[in-house]
Structure 1
């Protein structure tokens, strides 16, 4: 940790003036010393405070004084005027400029102790902020462990350390990585471990090459290795980063040791809660209450994503969710704001997804029906994803009151076609193709004259005029309501 010269220069109480050097230069400590050669007692990075009482009077002696301090890798000199010197000696200024040292003029009323205290206070504030950030990162890691297990911890740790992170099981099979797939990092880690990688006990490794640093730790409890944690950075990890890394390793060890029965119980609980919600067994005003145990807030807007067929297990990246398998497919409830991330996680070559409109916990049963309809639409049009809100009329029919009214209309309008499946199918295709004879007949695989004959017969049975926009709309609504 360090303080920049600019931070000190901006403190009015100190009254410092920059004479030469970069104000962005960092100061590790401010140290008052009047020795002619203080270099042996310096560690580098200091702002050396002096009144020049023992400074040689000759320009050559002053040059050598600056050279000794520069060779000790200090940041700069704070020169107090008004006691031994009324102004900073020109030779000292020139040599500080030549060696690239910071040179600051300290007025007589400003005690060196005030500068040291200012640096100490700034460093303490940085340390306190770093501790707060570390605690926040620890809390984030804990939440990630609860919501997303190993994958969530890995992603959170990678962000916190600005690092590449990989976790494997005891057999070096990749469990999670961030960012990227982690293949290169895993290869580097196992190569560095060499024969140790095949052992079953705890191990640790830390190697550096240039600005690249690799840390490998074993994971597990009780001396048995259940996996490996590998971290690669382009910067050294300070002690708080090391503390965070240790915390992450502990959480990962617990995750790898967690009994499978606990994982299955969590899944079963999510499925049971969602089953109750989708069944409409809870009053709308209290339906949100059991969802709070899975990361949802009462005011959250929700969507249902229906996947068909059931996808393999996917990591939802710490996103709150409920999931259950139903005859229609796998139903997943997430917040509306998370739907794009969830769709990306579930989407695969063999899965179609139907996405409901936005709803609340009390509206999940109706939302499931709209998701089922959207999934059916996706399959019929050979699409990977279909959203119910994009279907216009079907979206309108997703509302219970509208669907009920249209259902009664459908019973009246379609009753004459109840025992005429061929005519019903022909009517449906005809309306879906906007009443265009050529395209509708091609879709049915019949001659357009055959289709005209069938539609004429529909008109006779129903008493409706298929040339009328209102009658066509009524029939289309009736057919859509039957599909839903």
Structure 2
């Protein structure tokens, strides 16, 4: 505890006594300063014990003097007697009492230096005690971490050290550990503050009040768990600077615990990637059997596959969010630059919601995983036939590519068939293809020699039927025959070929700049 005026009065060696404002004797003393100026406040920070022999009163009134010192929030005033004054002037006693400024009497035998040394020694002792307490707390928290308690042991020890409660909340607002058990109830009113701290990057903390009366104090620190989490610590009394250092030590210990877990987590994620690749590329090789004792058996037939990618391209943040779901009905791993999720249909929506907390995430969703389909081209495969999971992963990947290309948050593979071929081709590639293919017709029309582009479009739209197409254009069918013949000549293509017609129809659907 910091040294107070009461502590100085209790020191019999100083011989101090109270002249006024005894109720303020619990005020802490930040320093001791002596001055005989009528207004010493420009040289004071507040919180000091000011010592004077009364010479200052020659240039001001006792009322003004006491008012100035009280307004500057001094801890108190010490008046040395038997030098300029035999006793403290009654007017000064009254003024200090009226303004609530503690007034101490310093006898002649006590030099001002002795009071300054006493306060300095007390402050040094307090500073040393703070260092010792912080060091002991850090040792205690470290001991709790290296034992079997883990993060739970650290949180319980922190609550004991501060005489309050503590809890660790993960990215999904779930309480990972808390002490005491009732601490979880205190977090319901802190959801907005938890979200704000969790949403910031880097080392972030915040202090807020607890309860409707605002009597309690809560300190929040951002943690990476995996996923952005928060350490919340609260108690009825305000936290001192030393208390906040203890909380900081707990944050450091919890961070080191996470770093140790992260090394294991990286190895586990690499193993999950290897298992998923084997499940996709080597169907029937038993990869799911390897996964079962570690993470539970991966979902099989009827499951959905998601392919996810965030703005940064890093898989860690997405995997953090998905692992926070902690559900065996979900298998997630990084595969070829994307995060691939195999989940039961009921959990796929939860996985999407968790992933979409990552900024600018894009998602592709497959059709449900089905049994192996017959090979439509038997004898043409270079390797073993693709399994149903391989097909679903490819579907999800194609849907993800479409989502990124079209700027959509999510795309289902089933939606691609209804969106048309044009949406499956990058816009720049489609435009370049259409421009190169139709360029001879466009240049011909630009010279005013006919309307070959519109005629070709109408002819293809009527499946090569001359009369309906000519009627739609308002020309004779012989005129249309001549135009299509000219188009075939300029293009150097056989317009009776279905493939050529398909390419031309696609090119004609691409919007032109």
Provide TM-score, normalisation by structure 2.
0.46
